[in-house]
Amino acid sequence: MASHRRPKQPSRARVTVLTTIATAAVALTSQSAQADPKPSKADVKEKVDHLYHEAEAATEKASGAEEAENKLAKQVDALQDKVARGQDELNEMRESLGSMASAQYRTGGVDPAVQLFLSSDPDSYLEKASTLDQVSAKQAESLQQIQAKQRTLAQQRQEAQSKVTDLAETRKELTKKKKEVQTKLAAAQKLLNTLTAQERDELAKADAERASRGNDRIDLGNEKPTSGRAAAALEAAKTQIGKPYVSGAEGPNAYDCSGLTQWAYGQAGVSLTRTTYTQVNDGTKIGRGELAPGDLVFFSSLSHVALYVGNGQVLHAPKPGTVVRYEAMEWAGSFQFGVRI
């Protein structure tokens, strides 16, 4: 006979638990949706500008590491060449002493001191041989020269090895800084990609309009450079207007901020160091009220540099996605000080 029992109804406690779980799931889903809203255009711009600033600071440090790497590499090459030449000189000195021993043998025997030198390790022999009474004055002088050359070579080899170690550490630091730059730029691009194409175009257009309102119509006033080299550097920089900003670039097809200032002054016959952090020491520091065309202007914790052009305007390579251009100082960053070259 078929059973007619009704299905067991869930207990009130079980219903309460299920209801609570369902409510919590809905709440979590709602919170998750609210926790990650699409950022506004203004938020994206602020975050991207911050990332570009951080990337620029990392770029300057990378450029400094690259400059140090080049300097160390030249020092290592010079030291290694010096060691090689010294070894050749030492070999010649030993050969000369050997020739002296051969001559003695042909004329009646080898001096005991020279014989000792030729039959044992020269390094352990030299201290003993130099004190032997049998050594002639000429032989003693030759032995002392060899001993001095060996000490010099040992010191040069040690110095070269130390520089090689420094070079390896500097290259490691350079790689780290370059990776940091790329990470910051990638994060900025990822943020920009959250905007629509129209929104990105609007940001770019607003940035260009704010920058100079037309580089060919900008009012630079009538201020004059304080030196011929400043005037020449500024004129050189003006020829680069419109060329793109590229992290680590130093011309002539693209620039970062300190790459532009270094290149411009290079055209004026003045050698500036490579980074903002070192260019601050390439001249005399001055205040904002003392600025004249051609002076360097530093911004944003010294991570950015520009050329002052007059009337509160600068000429610089601003940031990724822009070109060398004029811009009002208030938009270039937080003013630190000027430097007159």
Q: Which domain holds residue 167?
A: 41-192
Same domain, 122 and 252: no
pLDDT of residue 213: 54
Same domain, 69 and 173: yes
Same domain, 104 and 236: no
**pLDDT-wise least confident of 121-130, 285-294, 299-308, 313-322:** 121-130
To which H or E segment does residue 228 belong? helix 228-238
- Position 1 confidence tier, pLDDT thresholds 50, 70, 90: very low
Instruction: Provide the total of helices (H) and of strands (E) in the chain, helices listed first.
Output: 10, 6
Asked whether residue 150 carries a pLDDT value surpassing 90, the answer given is no
CB atoms within 10 A of CB 177: 21
Our answer to whether residue 304 is catalytic in this structure is yes
Q: Tokens in use for 86? A: 């010294």
Same domain, 129 and 253: no
CA distance 70 to 64: 10
Question: Which residue in 4, 50, 53, 257 is the catalytic one?
Answer: 257
284-303 average pLDDT score:
95
Same domain, 56 and 170: yes
Decide if 308 is inside a domain. Answer: yes
pLDDT of residue 224: 95
285-300 average pLDDT score:
96
Same domain, 305 and 227: yes
Locate tokens 């991570």: which residue?
303
Phi, psi of 14 (to 5 degrees): -65, -40
Same domain, 168 and 280: no
Express each pLDDT in 100-120 by its tens digit. 556 555 555 555 555 555 555
12-23 average pLDDT score:
46
More confident residue, 210 or 128: 210
- Position 129 confidence tier, pLDDT thresholds 50, 70, 90: low
pLDDT of residue 339: 98
Asked whether residue 151 carries a pLDDT value surpassing 60, the answer given is yes
Same domain, 54 and 187: yes
Asked whether the bond before 252 is cis by omega within 30 degrees of 0, the reply is yes
- Vertex 89, ends 86 and 95: CA angle to 5°? 145
CA distance 195 to 116: 85
Nearest to 39 by CA among 195, 161, 156: 195
Mean pLDDT of the chain: 79
Decide if 256 is inside a domain. Answer: yes
Asked whether residue 199 carries a pLDDT value surpassing 80, the answer given is yes
Same domain, 137 and 259: no
Same domain, 82 and 159: yes
More confident residue, 321 or 205: 321
Domain count, the chain: 2
Express each pLDDT in 254-282 by its tens digit. 999 999 999 999 999 999 999 999 999 99
Asked whether residue 340 carries a pLDDT value surpassing 90, the answer given is yes
More confident residue, 184 or 113: 184
- Position 84 confidence tier, pLDDT thresholds 50, 70, 90: confident
CA distance 171 to 69: 6
Decide if 1 is inside a domain. Answer: no
Could you write out the DSSP letters of every residue in 118-181? HHS-HHHHHHHHTT-TTS-HHHHHHHHHHHHHHHHHHHHHHHHHHHHHHHHHHHHHHHHHHHHH
CA distance 298 to 308: 10
Q: What is the CA radius of gyration of the chain?
A: 36
Same domain, 254 and 336: yes
pLDDT of residue 214: 47
158-166 average pLDDT score:
85
Length of the chain: 341
Decide if 5 is inside a domain. Answer: no
Longest Cα separation, the chain = 137
Last residue of a domain, one of 151, 176, 192: 192
Our answer to whether residue 53 is catalytic in this structure is no
Nearest to 247 by CA among 294, 304, 309, 206: 304
Query: In whole angstroms, how far apart are CA 228 and each of 221, 232, 241, 263, 289?
Result: 19, 6, 21, 16, 21
pLDDT of residue 321: 85
Decide if 272 is inside a domain. Answer: yes
To which H or E segment does residue 298 belong? strand 296-299
Could you write out the DSSP letters of every residue in 302-320? TTEEEEEEETTEEEE--ST
Share of the chain above pLDDT 90, in %: 32
Share of the chain above pLDDT 70, in %: 74
CATH number for the domain spanning 139: value is 1.10.287
Asked whether residue 300 carries a pLDDT value surpassing 80, the answer given is yes
45-73 average pLDDT score:
83
Decide if 12 is inside a domain. Answer: no
CB atoms within 10 A of CB 91: 11
Decide if 203 is inside a domain. Answer: no
To which H or E segment does residue 45 belong? helix 41-106
pLDDT of residue 113: 54
Q: Which stretch, 31-40, 47-56, 139-148, 325-334, has highest mean pLDDT?
A: 325-334
Last residue of a domain, one of 192, 210, 229: 192
- Position 123 confidence tier, pLDDT thresholds 50, 70, 90: low
Burial 247-256 (b: 16+ CB within 10 A, else e): bbbbbeebbb
Same domain, 164 and 279: no
Query: In whole angstroms, how far apart are CA 339 and each of 100, 171, 271, 314?
Result: 65, 30, 14, 13
Last residue of a domain, one of 157, 192, 227: 192
Question: Which residue in 4, 50, 53, 304 is the catalytic one?
Answer: 304
Decide if 98 is inside a domain. Answer: yes
CATH number for the domain spanning 230: value is 3.90.1720.10
